[in-house]
Amino acid sequence: MSKPDKENLTTRSRNEVRFGIVFKSMAGIALMLVIFSVVICAISYNVFTEALMDQYIADAYWAANTASMMLVPDMIEQYKIPDEQSGTLNRYNVYSILKETCDSMGMEFIYVIQPDTTDFNSVTFIFSTANSSSKYGEFEPGYVRPTTNEQYRNAYIGLYDHTLVNAYVIMDDPANPTGPHVTVMVPLIDRDGATTAIMCVQAQLDVLDQIRSRYLQQEILVLSILAITIMVTQGLFLHYVLLKPVKKVTAEASRFARENVVRREKLTDSIFNRHDEINLLAHSIDHMEAQIGEYIRNITAITAERERIDTELRLAARIQADALISTFPAFPERNEFDLYASMTPAKEVGGDYYNFFLTDNDHLCLFIADVSGKGIPASLFMMSTKGIIDSCAMKSHSPAEILAKANRRICAKNQEGMFVTVWLGILEISSGKLTAASAGHEFPVVKNGKDSFKVLEDPHGPVLGFMDDVTFEEYTIDLEHGSRFFIYTDGVPEASDREKNMFGMDRLTEVLNREPEASPEKILANVKEAVEEFADGAEQFDDLTMLCIEYK
């Protein structure tokens, strides 16, 4: 890994740690505790409020029942009479008792009313007492007030028709003239079972709100202390049990990514007494480092070996290129003919070969060959075959005899069972007579005189290196002035495009006939360009070798 890559990895790792597992774990715990606390506060607050309200209502009922014992329901009408007219009944004494009850029981109001039973839309106060510390005033006896709302009206009706034993109304609107409160109502029933009046007790809810607020504050305080304690305890637990070993694993992974050096001490040895997934992870990282270290060593060795092989292949390619005639014109002092040849290997080195040389002043030997297979084995076999054919050609002017001798020598040393196709011809320069023989090679394409290029289906013999006791058939062709003779290997007609379609002989003859009078060099260039255009970037499957001679 390069230094800039290591620095980028280190910077990225530091940025990721800002929101690492420590932060996420604590944030998750804090969020869960907040949600838990809110739920607990809401539930307990509602339960406490309901219990407190029930207690308030019970206390108000107790006060109402206690106050009811101070009155005689059958004497309600007499309570309306002022003291100076009531005789032995002292109305003020009843008022004083109700007042004392109101103060002692902490109620805001204790009053006795008598609704208008025709429509229950108004009430008349018989007694009205207020707590001594109340900021609200009392009503004079005989004061008539409209019924507060429909809740009160329904309660009055139920108490008078005995569908209700008692009733209460909660007024929690802060805008109420006497503030939020609860009013309980108990009927005063005479000896005939009729309701003569209603005893009402009002308890203010502001005290309830104060109690609930104090309770909520204490609950929040307790839950906050508990949450902080849990977070600290859980944080320490996670740090030593999970986060600390995870940090070691993370640090080791980051170090190995930067340095690509296997740790001397195994990671599992630095995490003691672990029998869980973290130990498994540490073991996996140790195993991964060992494997990657071995892989890096193997890759280094393979890369060095590959570089050595590439160097040798480039050297082999240069040697093979040097073995091929590449200087043209090859015979600048001879104007009776012109020739050009080329070989483009499919790999670094190829299995195709061409050669031409004068066996004497009037005879030109030329041949082209294609070894089975590609690459280095084919190239070595071809170099051996080339030497044999060259040697045999220097001792005879008969192509058939040359191929037969070469075949026997190749078969004698061919332990790998490889073979080679060869076309070999000897041109008598003075007459234009070309004598040739083919050892399983491709058909030549000939333009004789002013004719167009045509495929010459010459007789084929067996390939060289297959059987040692074979003969080959010769044929002759008289080349006229301006004739052109084109020979090639199978890499030309069998060149394929991306869809595996082959170039073929029809396209080859078509390309040759586009410029039939062109020079041999131009003809080979036209064919190569057409093959490359047809392949359209597809990988070259076989060596591409061509030779063309023009007889002048």
Give which of 526, 212, 540, 505 is closest to 352, Cα–Cα: 540
Q: Residue type for 248, please?
A: K
pLDDT at 160: 93
Residue 436 has pLDDT above 80, yes or no: yes
Q: What is the DSSP letter of 540?
A: P
Q: What is the mean pLDDT of residues 516-539?
A: 92
- In the chain, the N- to C-terminal Cα span, in Å, equals 64
CB 470 within 8 A of CB 422: no
For the cut 80, the answer to whether the pLDDT of residue 393 exceeds it is yes
> Is 196:114 a contact under the CB 8 Å cutoff?
yes
Half-sphere exposure for 334 (CA within 13 Å, toward CB) = 21
302 pLDDT band, cuts 50/70/90, is confident
Tens-digit pLDDT profile for residues 235-292: 777 767 767 777 777 777 777 777 777 766 777 766 655 566 777 777 777 777 777 7
Q: Which residue has the tokens 């109700």?
A: 98
Write down the residue that tokens 């006795």 correspond to. 112
pLDDT of residue 224: 82
Half-sphere exposure of 112 (CA within 13 A, CB side): 28
387 contact partners, CB below 8 Å, separation of at least 6: none
User: What is the pLDDT, as a whole number, of residue 88?
Assistant: 43
